Structures are given as C-alpha cells and as structure tokens.
Structure 1
Amino acid sequence: MKFAVITDVHGNFDALEAVLDDIDRKGDVDKIYNLGDNIGVGHETNKVLDYIFDRDDMEIIAGNHDEAVMSLVNDTPYPEDLKDKFFEHHQWIENHLDEDYYDKLNELPRVIEKKFGNKKVLFIHYEIPNEQLSAPIDKQPFSPITEPTEEAMQTLFSDKQADLIVFGHNHTVHLFDDKEKIYFNPGAVGLNNGAHAVYGLVTIEEDVISIDRVKVAYDNEEFLRGFDEKQVPGKSLIFDKFL
C-alpha cells in the first residue's frame, strides 16, 4: 500500500494543484488522505473544494478552520480562541463559500482509521482527547499545539492506539519513531516554504512502514497578489504568522 498525505491546504489552489499533479505523475499512489484545513487563511476556497471533492481517490477529514467557518454557516457558536484572530476573515470565507459544499463540509469526519496488513494507521488533523471527539468546535476540542519533539508527541497522543499517527495543524514537519508508534506531519501544503508546497508519501509493505516528505516548487505570486486584489480581511496577521 502506498498513499499520499496532504494537509493544511488553507485555500491555496496553486499549491494544491502542484502537489496533486506531482502525485498523479508518480502513477503508483493508491490513495490520498487529506487531513483538513482546506479552507481559511487563503482565499481560493471554492477552487480548492472543486478540486478535492472531484477526486475519487481522496479521503478527507475536517480541520479546525473548516469547522470554524462552518459554525458561521450553520449559525452555531464560534470558537472563542479564534475570535480575536480569524473571525472577520472567516466571515469573508463564509460569504464567498459556494453553498453546494455546505453538506459535504458538514459531513467530514474528524478521524479516519485504517488497517494495512498488520499496521493500524490513524489520520487526524491534530490531537483531540477521546472524550472530546464529538464535542463541537466552540468547545475547543483540538489540543493546544505543542513543541515538535518525540517526547511531546508521546504525551500528546498517549490516548491513541495506532502504529502510525498522521496529522497536520502545526505546519512544521514532524517525523518521530518511538518504536511503538510513528508520528508524521508532512507540513502544510498551502503555507510552507515560500514558493514550495509539501506532502507526504507512506509505503507499507510486509509490515514495514517507509515515509518520505516531498517538496514541490510552484509559482505563488498569484496567490499572494490575491489578498490585495480581493481585499481579504486579516492579511497582516496571515502574512506575519503564515507567509
């Protein structure tokens, strides 16, 4: 089994297209797992959703930005921890979100669990304590981001049982093997390394797990110009923290 992992596209269509084109060129990838935060921060929401929901080889879970935007769509409580940072930006995303995607976004799971041979793989946007897996986004179910170390990952995911835990959310690459579990975050597709997008490749063969991180060059100028051209709220914060 060989699968790709993409996460944190964040409304950056050009980065997503570059990654998916690279995956398709390989010709030997069985499945793509998309770990959420496809919308928010970037401004190409509908183009991203058009692309990911049109594929039949991709399974998708929800990220915190996806759920926060949908709380506005659904008129349910918005998470307090994002109000000072992203509320106006998420309102802008909501106002530009194609209604055809409401149901699909609302139906995204938070977790995907798979078994390949004897290896159990958990796909999750970031740690959510087991007792919080069904809690609404305003209850802030996602754990605070912790430092990218093996010890921190052991503590963070101590309630999860899997041979490989694949996640996103923290846009920094993680690859740790504590002999009981492997923890892998390839980094953000849409907000990473300037004019480069990143993703992961995982091969499981005869109970051996092999992992690669792939870095793909793309032209990010149109994406950056779009913040001014579309008058996207929150540009200063986004450029300072993410770009």
Structure 2
Amino acid sequence: MKHALISDVHSNLPALEAVLADIDAREDVAATYHLGDLVGYAPWPNEVVALIRERGIPGIAGNYDSTVANDYKHCGCKAESPRAEELSHISYAWTREHVEPETKAFLRGLPFRMDLRVRGGHTSRPQITLVHGTPTLNTLYWTEDRPDSFCTRMAKTAGLREGDLIAFGHTHKPWHREVGGVRFVNVGSVGKPKDGDWRACYALVEAGEEVGGVEFVRVEYDLERAMDGIHRSGLPDEFADQLRAGGAPEPSEVRQGGGRR
C-alpha cells in the first residue's frame, strides 16, 4: 500500500479539492498526511483547514501555520527579492486578519513532526518521518542542491537508519534521492508550486514491508477559480500570476501597477 503526502496547500482550496479527489480515486492509498503550510497566499485559509479537519487528515505544522497560530512577527519565509519580501508581509498580514479563532486553534495544535511506523508500533523499522522544513526547524529550506553530507546530518538528527524515509516540503519543489540507505523526499506543493509547473503536486510513497518507491503526481485543478479568488480577496494580483506560472513569473507576465493590496 501507499501513503499520500501533501504539503504547502497555502489556502488554495481548488487545488486541495482536486488533489483529494485524485487520491480518493486510487485504490492503493492507505492513508493521507499533510506536511504543513495549510494557510497563506490565497483566500481560503479557513476553508482549507475545515476540509483537512473534515477529512481527518493528520499532519504537522509548517512555518506559516505555527507563526500565524502564535502571532509571530513574520511568517519565517525566505524572500528572494525586496518585492518578494514585501509580498510575504502582505500575505501574512492578510492571513492573520482573516483566520477565524477555530482555525487558529487548530493550527496551534499541530505537532512539529510525525513518525510513522508502517509495520505497527510493535516494530521500530522501517519508519517514515514527516517534517515541514528539516528535523531542526520548520523555517529551514532543504533544497535539492544540499550536499549528501547535509542529508546525512539531518538523518542523524532525526534518528533515522538505513531503510527509513524522511519527507518534507517548504521549498515547493519536488525531488528525492537516497543517501546511506535513507530516502529523502521533498513532496512539492499542492497550492503554490515553484518548479515551473502550475499543476498541484503531491507524493505517493510505498509503505509496506519496506518504504520507498516514490512517485510524484501532478493534478490539474480549477486555476481560473483560484486566480479569481485572489483577485476578489484584495491580495496582490502577483499571487495569481505566480499560480499561473508555477512560480515567479517573468517580469513581462506580471500585471502593471504591482497588484491589488
């Protein structure tokens, strides 16, 4: 059987609905887990959390979830330009203003990490560990260009051994590799991909006698509905442009005037 791992929904309800429908249509998925960052950047934070709760999908806190829940001064997001930093603050302020108390309470209760013993709690291995960024911080970016030594250090920090798997998100770019017998999987982003493909992304991992067999799944969703929701919400139009481009659009693609505030 397989586990479906979703991450970085970022308040994109149409994308989440499409991904869950795709998972539901599969007969070999035993469980679904989320790896955090349910909110931010799109206009449905409360609806996304409500759907996750309704479906009983367990998961962990991303940096956006934990900072919103605790009224931290910023989201802990990495900005690649002054404008990107400005946009991150706009999104964070909008999200904090619009999350309902019930949503905030749910986000506050999410754990930092989860350890799944796929053969049952009476056995210690193999294990799947879920984090958002790294086993040390949910704000630290684990990009594909990190050296094997970094992966090995993170595996040791998490207490992983040969045959185990650690899954994470945060960068919005899917990738996987194996180092020292441990599998490392960035599951990509459901609601805000940054790899140039606008379609929602999630990962399927084998979860039986052994773990592994990673498959990335891309799902088309109602992009126009998501973009229209952003335009109507008062969030910057650039967030809609980013969805369409699968990441930061080329300057010529961005609307003149800097978008709505």
Q: TM-score range with shorter-chain normalisation?
A: 0.7 to 0.9
Relative to structure 1, the CA distance from residue 242 to residue 191 in structure 2 (aligned partners, 3 Å threshold; closer, same or farther) is: farther
The two structures have a TM-score, normalised by structure 2, of 0.77
Q: Indicate yes or no: 2:142 matched with 1:142.
A: no
1:3 Cα deviation after fit: 1.1
AA of the residue aligned to 1:169: H
CA distance in 2: counterparts of 1:62 and 1:99, whole angstroms: 17
Equivalent pair of 2:165/2:211 in contact (CA under 8 Å): no
Q: Deviations 1:73-106 (Å, cap 9, x if unpaired)? A: xxx5546767755233212112211222222111
Relative to structure 1, the CA distance from residue 161 to residue 171 in structure 2 (aligned partners, 3 Å threshold; closer, same or farther) is: same
Q: Indicate yes or no: 2:73 matched with 1:70.
A: no
Equivalent pair of 1:195/1:218 in contact (CA under 8 Å): no
Match of residue 222 from structure 2: 219
Matches within 5 A, 1:226-241: 226-232=229-235, 234-236=236-238, 239=241
- Identify the range of structure 1 (38-47 vs 153-162) with the bigger mean alpha-carbon deviation: 153-162
Q: Indicate yes or no: 2:184 matched with 1:187.
A: no
Q: Per the alignment, in what secondary structure is the counterpart of residue 51 of structure 1?
A: helix
- Identify the range of structure 1 (21-30 vs 201-210) with the bigger mean alpha-carbon deviation: 201-210
Higher relative contact order (CA 8 A, sep 6+): 1
Match of residue 199 from structure 2: 196
Structure 2 segments unaligned to the other structure (5+ residues): 79-84, 120-124, 250-261
Structure 1 segments unaligned to the other structure (5+ residues): 133-140
CA distance in 1: counterparts of 2:94 and 2:184, whole angstroms: 34
RMSD: 2.5
1:209 Cα deviation after fit: 2.6
Equivalent pair of 2:135/2:154 in contact (CA under 8 Å): no
1:227 Cα deviation after fit: 2.1
Match of residue 42 from structure 2: 42
Match of residue 13 from structure 1: 13
Q: Indicate yes or no: 2:100 matched with 1:98.
A: yes
Q: Per the alignment, in what secondary structure is the counterpart of residue 109 of structure 1?
A: coil
Relative to structure 1, the CA distance from residue 37 to residue 81 in structure 2 (aligned partners, 3 Å threshold; closer, same or farther) is: closer
Equivalent pair of 2:152/2:180 in contact (CA under 8 Å): no
CA distance in 1: counterparts of 2:217 and 2:29, whole angstroms: 13
Relative to structure 1, the CA distance from residue 145 to residue 204 in structure 2 (aligned partners, 3 Å threshold; closer, same or farther) is: closer
Relative to structure 1, the CA distance from residue 146 to residue 208 in structure 2 (aligned partners, 3 Å threshold; closer, same or farther) is: closer
Equivalent pair of 2:230/2:239 in contact (CA under 8 Å): no
Q: Per the alignment, in what secondary structure is the counterpart of residue 166 of structure 1?
A: strand
1:239 Cα deviation after fit: 4.2
The two structures have a TM-score, normalised by structure 1, of 0.83
1:22 Cα deviation after fit: 0.6
Q: Deviations 1:38-79 (Å, cap 9, x if unpaired)? A: 1011221111111101113x211100111222232xxx5546
Equivalent pair of 1:197/1:217 in contact (CA under 8 Å): yes
Query: Number of matched residues?
Result: 228
Relative to structure 1, the CA distance from residue 212 to residue 123 in structure 2 (aligned partners, 3 Å threshold; closer, same or farther) is: same
1:228 Cα deviation after fit: 2.0
Equivalent pair of 2:230/2:240 in contact (CA under 8 Å): no
Matches within 5 A, 1:113-192: 113-117=115-119, 118-129=125-136, 142-149=139-146, 151=148, 152-162=150-160, 163-192=164-193
Match of residue 32 from structure 2: 32
